[in-house]
Structure 1
Amino acid sequence: MTRHPADQSPLGKSSAYVSVYTPSLLFPIAREPKWQELGLDADKLPFHGADIWNCYELSWLTPSGKPAVAAAEFVFPLKARRIVESKSLKLYLNSFNQTVFRDRAEVLHTLESDLSVAAQGPVMVRLFTMAQLHAGGMAQLPGDCIDDAEAEIDCYEYDASLLALADAGGLAREALHSHLLKSNCPVTGQPDWASISIAYSGKRLDRSALLRYLVSFRQHADFHEQCVERIFTDVLPLLGEGAELTVYARYLRRGGLDINPYRSTAASFPENLRLARQ
């Protein structure tokens, strides 16, 4: 059986928590093998997008020895050909805890530099004070929630054949969302919970079928980014020629990090919405 690339990472293993700056803790994973699994050409992807990570456990020491804390936003563009395994990122961030930095600018530069090297592409970083984080408030996903759609569900293993177009046919331009997406970590089997937005224009989707399809990920094992890309590549062909599609998942926080993949036919950039469960 083929081993998952993350099997060599600290994920699912007992780890020493290093509290002094150690960039070698970062464990990158190439995107391309999963793209190949989905039948995608890395140089001709059918989507644009980025992965937005939010960090709520970042701290370091000031020159006076006083701790500072911040929240951070990390944006990994698709042209960064590698993702960073999440536990390794947590361990790396933990290594800031007892490290002295001159100021926030040095922390920001260090994060951008290390993550860009690991991801093999330009990772953008923003830092937020607790007051700025509070001022941002909570948001809601756009459009209609399909969670109350009438649906008999008995499939909890990924099944793309559950997707269907609406019987009434016709074209639609709408935004739908669900809070029922759950997948599992491919290494540890731990649950990953998410809310997901699917905005499209094209042939009208059957909402009950879409809900059954999303629930079928309940026992599926893949990283967040790969689940979203699988959903995108399953839905887009149904919509017909010239269709537009955006799939945006907001995963719940684990270990101080939430990961939010965004894939779209449009070369647009997502708003970093913080939802109630995040």
Structure 2
Amino acid sequence: MMTERKGVENLSHLGSEDTKYTFEYDPTLLETFENNHPNRDYFVKFNCPEFTTLCPKTGQPDFGTIYISYIPDEKMVESKSLKLYLFSFRNHGGFHEDAMNVILNDLLELMDPRYIEVWGKFTPRGGISIDPYVNYGKPGTKYEDMAAQRLMYHDMYPEKIDNR
């Protein structure tokens, strides 16, 4: 049986026919709704294959896929607001590693999840690809231990790079 979704009345992006795309970094675009199942651990994963940002030095575009996985607590991020937020990096100058940390920090502040990880897999420029990974587990909980373990082993079996 489906439960009624709580906390959706304040969502301004979802269902709007007047979507505005912001080309400058804007974390205020992010919106949340209540987790209907806070008594259970489960992962929510977003795959964002069209992420773009600019090199802070050259202004050249960088393209990548961003993977965001989290175990929610009381709040969850609304997916359209996340899409608009990620789009706001389009004209933002920042190194890949910084962008992944900024995304994680903004989502931490927004939702206060039990666990979260952000992994960017960028297409090569100059013959090298950069794949920064960052995570967080709530201090003093099993999620803090989980974060340490996942960070240690996150890329033990890297994929063969033949598709980028």
Identify the residue that residue 259 of structure 1 maps to in structure 2: 130
- 1:203-218 residue pairs with structure 2 within 5 A? 203-218=75-90
Identify the residue that residue 73 of structure 1 maps to in structure 2: none
Instruction: Name the amino acid aligned to 1:237.
Output: E
Which ranges of structure 2 fall in alignment gaps of 5 or more residues?
1-13, 137-146
Q: Does 1:192 align with 2:68?
A: no
Q: Does 1:250 align with 2:134?
A: no
The range that moved more, 149-158 or 209-218, is 149-158
Identify the residue that residue 236 of structure 1 maps to in structure 2: 108
Give the secondary structure class of the aligned counterpart of 2:130. strand
Change (3 A) 1:246 1:226: same
Of Structure 1 and Structure 2, which has the larger fraction of its residues in strand?
1
Q: TM-score, normalised by structure 1?
A: 0.43
Identify the residue that residue 165 of structure 1 maps to in structure 2: 32
Q: Kindly report the root-mean-square deviation, in angstroms, between the aligned alpha carbons of the 2 structures.
A: 2.2
Q: 2:54 touches 2:92 (CA, 8 Å); kept in 1? A: yes
Q: 2:52 touches 2:64 (CA, 8 Å); kept in 1? A: yes
Number of aligned residue pairs: give it: 128
Instruction: Name the amino acid aligned to 1:221.
Output: G
Give the secondary structure class of the aligned counterpart of 2:131. strand
Q: 1:150 touches 1:208 (CA, 8 Å); kept in 2? A: no
Measured in 1, the distance between the counterparts of 2:65 and 2:160 equals 11
Identify the residue that residue 223 of structure 1 maps to in structure 2: 95
Measured in 2, the distance between the counterparts of 1:174 and 1:274 equals 26
The percentage of counterpart residues that share the same residue type is: 30
Q: 2:45 touches 2:68 (CA, 8 Å); kept in 1? A: yes
* 1:273 to partner: Cα distance: 3.7
* 1:164 to partner: Cα distance: 1.0
